Chains A and B, each alone.
Chain A
Amino acid sequence: MNLTLFVWRQKGPEDPGRLKQLEARDISPDMSFLEMLDLVNEDLIKQGRDPIVFDHDCREGICGTCSQVINGVPHGPEERTTVCQLHMRNFKDGDTIYIEPWKAKAFPVIKDLIVDRNAFEHIIQSGGYISAHTGGVPDANAILIAKHDADTAMDAAECIGCGACVAACPNGSAMLFAAAKVTQFAVLPQGAVEAKKRVNSMISSMKKEGFGNCSNHYECQAVCPKGIKVSFIAKLNREFIASLKT
């Protein structure tokens, strides 16, 4: 099939950037979306033009590197799917596809479709961990954890840190990302010790990094490739309220 692409091209952080029209020819429905872009890039290189730069790595939906807004939806039209796992059979001949980078103040564009997600790093660094020393820890079965809690922690821990939640949020808020981490540790006895400090540090960090406030639109859950639930945001709010009672 043949497609018309409108791809965001931006030379660097200072460049205003614009959508450029490109043609994708002879695309097989078995290709992944990124393989389609690979093909477009091969053509561009042979024509002596600059290939589109985009972030990607594992191409199996787990590393969280790929980050494109396709026709207005982060990671594209298929639910619970990263761009790298999106296949061209979701499109049809003659389609027009708009490809844009994540847009949020906290995620400045580096080039074309690549954004800087260091703000997420800083949120985790502010408290997204359990302060366990290497060695000197108790036997793994010394702390019993109810299956339900272990499962909830795992549901929350599935976050791949791609940033689609921020990209989709009308406010550029990172609440789903922070809430998943807060929840994972808050429901585990190992993590409960630092829960109060953690939730407050992570909340302050979000603000400092330029993320917006949560307006409970729930766009984040709708685009999350791992189906992280907004109920974790409620959990974060509960943890915050609990932290007020000193």
Chain B
Amino acid sequence: MFKEFKTTVGKKLIMALTGHLLIIFVIAHVIGNSTIYFGGLNSYAQHLHDLAPLVWTFRSVMLITLLIHLLLGIQLTLENRASKPDTYAVKKSLRATTASRNMIWTGALTGGFLLYHLLHFTFQVTNPDISARANLDSLGRPDVMVMVVSSFQNIIISLVYIVSMAVVALHLVHGIQSSFQSLGLNNNKTLGIIQKAGLIVSIILFAGYALIPLSILVGMVKG
């Protein structure tokens, strides 16, 4: 069984499956984030905190998923480069897109962003002055809301987040449709539909994520 997953198609299958898990996480995350608009961010964070064992199990699963996705992605890319050592003097793409050709880079940038995001909001080491651990709200909970709002009032941090979300979306534009193909869930009729659906989902996710820093920047959401 393990042997099969070391083949070219097996690896793509795992890429697709881990990709799907990551997409589910991304969707869940954006839904959680939306509590910010109802002033529920602190209570959402507290709830997660109270479920610590579950959260840590979940986090380790996601971490493993991510590592598999990352390492296989790197391996596949290196193999692909090796299979195509030379390029043409004149290059022309007919169907391949910026998204499809740059999966490794959008993936790497997403990874880099993730690291920063964890240091920023989870470990709270990049901006210790607004750390939620240090600042409690009136109910004595870590004040995540203040941390988020004051962070995104900084235009540079907001831009980093918005641009990163665009990169993630670009990764998903190809990733979503590609994963369905790799899982064999495609035929001539669904191919176009899945491609379009992938694009729409990517745009919605981008909007969902980018709206938070944007609405804070323009002052619609205040601390």
Contacts and interface: CB of A to CB of B under 8 A. Distances in A.
A–B direct contact (CB < 8 Å): yes
Interface of A: 6, 19, 69, 71-73, 98, 100, 103-106, 168-173, 175, 200, 203-204, 206-207, 210-219, 221-223, 229-231, 233-241, 243-244
What are the 8 tightest A-B residue pairs by CB atom distance, in nearest-first order? A212-B83, A238-B184, A72-B92, A237-B184, A171-B80, A222-B94, A172-B83, A217-B96
Contact of A100 (B89, B100, B178, B186): B89
Interface string B146-176: 0000000000000000000000000000100
Give the secondary structure class of A's interface.
mixed
Interface residues of B, number: 43
15 contacts: A98-B89, A106-B83, A211-B83, A212-B82, A213-B8, A213-B11, A213-B79, A215-B100, A215-B178, A216-B177, A219-B94, A231-B188, A234-B181, A237-B182, A240-B13
A169 B84 contact: yes
A72 B79 CA distance: 23
A168 B13 CA distance: 23
A229 B188 contact: yes
B8 A207 contact: yes
A105 B89 CA distance: 17
Contacts of B12: 213-214, 237
B95 A222 contact: yes
A206 B90 contact: no
Contact of B191 (A69, A203, A231): A231
A216 B79 contact: no
Contacts of B90: 71-72, 98, 100
B219 to A, nearest CB: 42
B88 interface: yes
A105 B180 CA distance: 28
B8 A221 contact: no
B84 to A, nearest CB: 4
Contacts of A204: 7
